[in-house]
């Protein structure tokens, strides 16, 4: 299952001991994934069963509110719901009924568990089964947990997709599935390249609507577009699909190796591969050239956030010439990020989990040229004199693939450029 | 269970954070799961704070629930004390930790730290942010403030300003200036800028208290009146009339007689009397926000701008009674709700010409094509300006005048739009020049899509005839919704099922004011 990495096994940071941290985690919970999932899955509604805090988190993390009524909401638990479970289930029924009455276009409803609903052990999977029977076949009701006690930020998407795997239809056909919510523009670019490579029956997961969902079976292969999809990966494997491992498609090199892993799995002739990827590869290299020399030689420090940190560090070090000082990730699934770890040159501290105050101490000590961190930390660090890039932008903007390689590098260069530009 | 899409207030522990973050030398240890740390970004992003809020979260996970979350709390509390060395420690639980009942207060006390620890019990499933701020402030004062000899010279405390409050930073500066000009010393401002030491030693020395924001300071003001014999002001000095009333109250409380506040910087009164403002007369406004800002805005709108208040409401139920009675005085229905969809429906129904609201109403306004000015929290980063822009006092009155007028189409411009409505560049689709962002936006909730060829169409069982529809389109966009609604109501009243050009003008005459 190894990839055709230019480096050979057991190299880079693959054996670097991981600094495991426990303490205050300054990260979002998995509910945050709803912000992009509800735009991606167009016939779905995400109903968080939680507290006022959950509702407040969602609107704060979204940063700006979306004008139209969004396809998510929070059923806020009240005192009486905590007192009796039976009542809570009843209440949920009536909330769902009201919602589906008002929003008849909804075809998939996700009941999303939160910290309070998990602590009071409100059984949302049972509720989902019951409601599915009630609203079938028009609406399918699923449940997953986006709670902070179980999930960190992007793990919410993992939990959501994993919950959908069991609903996928079975197939004997040979099909390829791209797994992970990508902006439509990136998804279309990948589908176009794969078509040119002669690979047929490609679908995406999550699909934009329920009716275009991928199918799964022994002859289905899948590749992850995002590194945080460990549970989804296992769930797909449990249903017989096989996983194509590869570094993640960030930058020219990452995208090429990612596509190459697919091409290899489908025995695409290397001359075809070269021909199809040559033009976009050159475009990506050209776009990167303009920015990478600005980043080259500068140091970077990652606070844990989205699990994108290791693949992004690999991109910044290898394609932009940066020096990684610490690469922090909320969770490291070695099975999934090993290809990226192997390619990341030795040197940085690799840390998992967080004790935010001691990590801030480490960061201040090494004074990186660029710090990648969440919005709670960015302004305070800027005020201390460090250039920062807020990490949530990496999850919200199109950054995968050839055509975005230059944009991705530019995202990291922007805070540095701004500091050079300003005379204040 | 209540379905909520956007909320006006956060949970009560966010209110506690607003108080603690505003203070000095105070730290808050919050028993909360990972994810609740999102609240930091409210301060670092919306208010652009250059330091992290002084809050340590225990960020427990599922695996901790099986073992010992109480121990985790104690460790976090001890570590936070050792690292930050605060002069007072506030401890409490967020909604999830409230369910596991670890008793943060008791646990913190058991640590026997050398500083006061202030336990908070904020019922997360019943109450909200403003309550959390009010209760936190009260508990801090109750625990720390000591009786003291009054200052020799007449002095007061200014109570209520917190972090993330709508223009609190500048209101405090303005009110402090007005008080100083009037010969009254400001003894202590709290919570904003106050340390536990200040509260212990200085709070009791003031002769009276200025209650700047009742939502946050009323409970504390009552306590201080009872315990320390400090009376407090009831007028919130936002608006010209309210500031004048506030000063006369201060004059009574201080016994100093005439207040000498320098009104030469006040321009809003003349600006309002000047002729370009004539066209404000009777502009229909809808007001929604926290009760204090709604009450002050209603008075400004009516008495100082000459608007017609067509609807009011607030999201904080604690003040429901006073908002309802204000509604009665104004002869309008008062809406008390936390559901922004209800607010949207009310606005859509009333078709005001201006909304005074929160960032939520600003979005509603964009959706409905109705201009909006922000008067209350919750607010967006763009409503936390770099420049000095209070709401309170004389300068506040100037700021409010400018802010409310800005989104409106000004007097002459309104006439020009009307005169040249068929000009290809200067037409109502182009919108007023300074509202470029509104151009070409589909106006949801109104069926007047001017791109369509006019044809008879049915609405509410009424048919608009082609000539009436054409005539309607000649009416400037910012009053067209009202004209349509009035005409339809008029037609229904008269039992007319088909609206002609004549019906339109009959309705216009009927509703002429």
Distance from CA of A14 to the nearest CA of B (A): 27
pLDDT confidence of residue B471: 85
Query: Any chain A CB within 8 A of the CB of B59?
Result: yes
| Residue B503 confidence (pLDDT) above 50 | yes
Write down the pLDDT at residue B419: 58
pLDDT value, residue B451: 40
Sheet of B117-119, strands arranged across: B55-57, B26-31, B88-93, B117-119
User: Is pLDDT larger for residue B480 or for residue B441?
Assistant: B480
Mean predicted confidence (pLDDT) in B446-472: 64
**How many angstroms separate the Cα of B459 from the Cα of each of A117, A161, B456, B475, B507?**
45, 44, 10, 19, 17
Confidence at residue B440, expressed as pLDDT on a 0 to 100 scale: 40
Is B44 in contact with A57 (Cβ distance < 8 A)?
no
Residue among B1, B10, B100 minimizing CB distance to A56: B10
Residues of B in contact with A376 (CB under 8 A): 37-38, 40-41, 44, 52
Task: Please choose, from the candidates B221, B172, B179, B220, the residue with its C-alpha nearest in 3D space to the C-alpha of residue B193.
Answer: B172
The beta-carbon neighbor of A27 closest among B34, B123, B124 is B34
pLDDT in tens, A344-385: 999 999 999 999 999 999 999 999 999 999 999 999 999 999
pLDDT for res B435:
43
Whether the pLDDT of residue B86 is over 90: the answer is: yes
Position B13 pLDDT exceeds 80: yes
* pLDDT value at A64 more than 80: no
For residues B405, B409, B410 and B412, what is the CA-based torsion angle, rounded to 10 degrees?
-170
Dist. CA A89–CA A32, nearest whole Å: 24
Under the banding of pLDDT at 50, 70 and 90, the label for residue B416 is low
Query: Which of A25, A115, A147 shows the shortest C-beta gap to B37?
Result: A25
B contacts of A70 (beta carbons < 8 Å): 5
Q: 3-state DSSP helix/strand/coil percent for chain A, to nearest 5?
A: 45, 15, 35
What global pTM score does this model have? 0.90
User: How many CA atoms lie within 13 Å of B297's alpha carbon, on the beta-carbon side?
Assistant: 31
Model confidence at B454: pLDDT above 50: no
Nearest CA in chain A to B10: A56
Average pLDDT, whole number, for chain B? Answer: 89
CB interface of B with A, residues 94-113, below 8 Å: 94-96, 99-100
| Whole-complex ipTM | 0.93
Give the number of residues written for chain A. 424
The 10s digit of each residue's pLDDT in B246-256 is 999 999 999 99
- Our answer to whether residue B64 is catalytic in this structure is no
| Of A231-240, B307-316, B475-484, the least confident | B475-484
Per-residue DSSP letters for A44-75?
A: EEEEEEE-HHHHHHHHHHTSS--SSPPSEEEE
3-state secondary structure of A420: helix
Q: Are A374 and B41 in contact (CB < 8 Å)? A: yes
Task: State the DSSP H helix or E strand holding residue B89, giving kind and residue range, or none if neither.
Answer: strand B88-93
B164-194 pLDDT per residue, tens: 999 999 999 999 999 999 999 999 999 999 9
CB A300 within 8 A of CB A313: yes
> Measured between CA atoms, how close is B99 to chain A, in angstroms?
7
For A276-312, how does the pLDDT look when each residue is reduced to its tens digit (9 = 90+)? Answer: 999 999 999 999 998 999 999 999 999 999 999 999 9
User: Which of B197, B252, B262, B276 is an active site residue?
Assistant: B276
Question: How many CB contacts within 8 angstroms connect chain A with chain B?
Answer: 183
Residue with tokens 């990684």: A324
- Cα(A395)–Cα(A398) distance, rounded to whole angstroms? 8
Asked whether the beta carbons of residue B34 and residue A79 sit closer than 8 angstroms, the reply is: no
pLDDT tens digits for range B227-263: 999 999 999 999 999 999 999 999 999 999 888 888 9
pLDDT at res. A99: 92
Do B51 and A380 lie within an 8 Å CB cutoff? yes
Contact B405, B371 (CB under 8 A): no
Q: Is B34 on the interface with A (CB under 8 A)?
A: yes
Which distant-in-sequence residues (6+ apart) come within 8 Å of B387 by Cβ? none
């Amino acid at each position: 299952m190894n990839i055709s990495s230019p480096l050979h096994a057991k190299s880079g940071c693959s054996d670097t001991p991981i600094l495991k941290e426990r303490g205050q985690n300054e990260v979002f919970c998995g509910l945050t994934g709803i912000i992009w999932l509800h735009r991606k899955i167009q016939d779905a509604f995400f109903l968080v069963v939680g507290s006022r805090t959950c509702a407040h988190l969602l609107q704060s993390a979204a940063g700006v509110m979306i004008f139209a009524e969004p396809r998510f909401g929070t059923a806020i638990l009240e005192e009486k719901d905590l007192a009796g479970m039976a009542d809570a289930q009843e209440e949920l029924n009536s909330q769902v009924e009201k919602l589906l009455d008002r929003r008849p276009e909804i075809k998939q409803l996700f009941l999303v568990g939160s910290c309070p609903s998990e602590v009071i052990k409100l059984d949302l999977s049972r509720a989902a089964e019951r409601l599915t029977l009630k609203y079938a076949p028009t609406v399918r009701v699923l449940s997953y947990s986006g709670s902070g006690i179980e999930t960190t930020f992007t793990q919410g998407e993992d939990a959501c997709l994993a919950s959908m795997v069991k609903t996928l239809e079975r197939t004997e056909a040979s099909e390829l599935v791209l797994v992970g919510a990508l902006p439509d523009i990136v998804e279309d670019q990948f589908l176009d390249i794969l078509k040119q490579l002669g690979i047929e029956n490609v679908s995406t997961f999550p699909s934009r609507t329920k009716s275009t969902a991928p199918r799964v079976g022994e002859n289905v292969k899948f590749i992850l577009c995002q590194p945080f999809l460990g549970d989804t990966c296992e769930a797909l494997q449990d249903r017989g699909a096989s996983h194509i491992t590869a570094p993640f498609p960030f930058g020219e090199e990452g995208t090429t190796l990612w596509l190459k892993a697919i091409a290899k799995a489908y025995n695409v002739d290397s001359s075809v591969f070269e021909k199809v990827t040559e033009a976009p590869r050159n475009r990506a290299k050209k776009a990167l050239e303009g920015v990478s020399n600005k980043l080259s030689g500068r140091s970077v420090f990652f606070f844990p956030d989205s699990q994108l940190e290791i693949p992004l560090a690999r991109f910044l070090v290898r394609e932009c010439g940066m020096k990684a000082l610490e690469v922090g990730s909320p969770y490291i699934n070695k099975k999934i990020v090993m290809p990226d770890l192997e390619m990341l040159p030795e040197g940085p501290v690799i840390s998992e989990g967080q004790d935010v105050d001691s990590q801030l101490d480490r960061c201040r000590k090494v004074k990186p040229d660029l710090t990648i961190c969440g919005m709670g930390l960015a302004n305070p660090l800027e005020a201390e004199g460090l250039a920062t890039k807020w990490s949530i932008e990496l999850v919200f903007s199109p950054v995968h693939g050839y055509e975005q390689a230059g944009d991705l590098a530019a995202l990291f260069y922007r805070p540095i450029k701004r500091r050079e530009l300003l005379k204040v | 269970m209540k379905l909520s899409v956007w909320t006006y207030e956060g949970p009560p522990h966010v209110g506690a954070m607003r108080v603690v973050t505003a203070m000095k030398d105070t730290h808050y240890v919050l028993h909360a799961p990972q994810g609740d740390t999102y609240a930091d970004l409210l301060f670092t992003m919306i208010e652009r704070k250059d330091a992290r809020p002084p809050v340590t979260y225990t960020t427990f996970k599922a695996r901790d629930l099986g073992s010992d979350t109480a121990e985790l709390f104690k460790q976090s509390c001890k570590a936070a004390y050792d690292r930050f060395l605060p002069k007072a420690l506030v401890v409490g639980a967020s909604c999830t930790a409230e369910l596991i009942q670890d008793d943060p207060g008791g646990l913190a006390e058991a640590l026997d730290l050398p500083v006061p620890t202030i336990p908070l019990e904020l019922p997360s499933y019943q109450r909200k942010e403003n309550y959390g701020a009010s209760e936190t402030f009260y508990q801090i004062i109750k625990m720390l403030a000591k009786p003291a000899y009054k200052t020799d010279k007449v002095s007061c405390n200014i109570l209520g300003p917190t972090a993330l409050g709508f223009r609190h930073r500048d209101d405090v500066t303005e009110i402090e200036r007005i008080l100083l000009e009037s010969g009254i010393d400001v003894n202590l401002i709290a919570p904003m800028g106050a340390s536990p030491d200040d509260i212990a030693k200085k709070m009791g020395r003031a002769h009276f208290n200025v209650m700047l924001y009742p939502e946050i300071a009323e409970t504390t003001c009552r306590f201080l009146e009872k315990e320390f014999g400090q009376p407090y002001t009831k007028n919130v000095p936002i608006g010209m009339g309210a500031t004048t009333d506030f000063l006369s109250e201060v004059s009574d409380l201080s016994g100093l007689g005439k207040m000498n506040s320098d009104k030469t910087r006040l321009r809003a009164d003349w600006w309002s009397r000047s002729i370009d403002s004539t066209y404000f007369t009777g502009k229909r406004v809808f007001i929604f926000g926290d009760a204090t800002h709604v009450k002050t805005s209603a008075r400004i709108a009516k008495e100082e701008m000459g608007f017609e208040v067509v609807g009011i409401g607030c999201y904080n139920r604690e003040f429901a009674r006073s908002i309802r009675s204000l509604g009665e005085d104004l002869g309008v229905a008062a809406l008390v709700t936390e559901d922004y969809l209800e607010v949207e429906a009310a606005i859509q129904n009333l078709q005001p010409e201006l909304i005074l609201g929160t960032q939520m109403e600003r979005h509603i306004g964009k959706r409905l094509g109705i201009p909006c000015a922000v008067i209350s929290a919750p607010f967006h980063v763009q409503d936390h300006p770099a420049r000095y822009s209070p709401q309170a006092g004389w300068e506040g009155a100037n700021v409010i005048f400018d802010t409310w007028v800005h989104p409106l189409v000004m007097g002459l411009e309104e006439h020009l739009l009307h005169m040249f409505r068929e000009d290809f560049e200067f037409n109502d689709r182009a919108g007023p020049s300074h509202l470029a962002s509104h151009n070409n936006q589909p106006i949801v909730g109104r069926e007047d899509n001017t791109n369509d060829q006019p044809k008879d169409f049915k609405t509410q069982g009424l048919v608009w005839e082609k000539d009436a529809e054409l005539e309607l389109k000649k009416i400037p966009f910012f009053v067209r919704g009202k004209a349509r609604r009035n005409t339809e109501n008029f037609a229904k009243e008269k039992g007319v099922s088909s609206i002609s050009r004549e019906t339109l003008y009959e309705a216009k005459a009927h509703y002429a004011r």
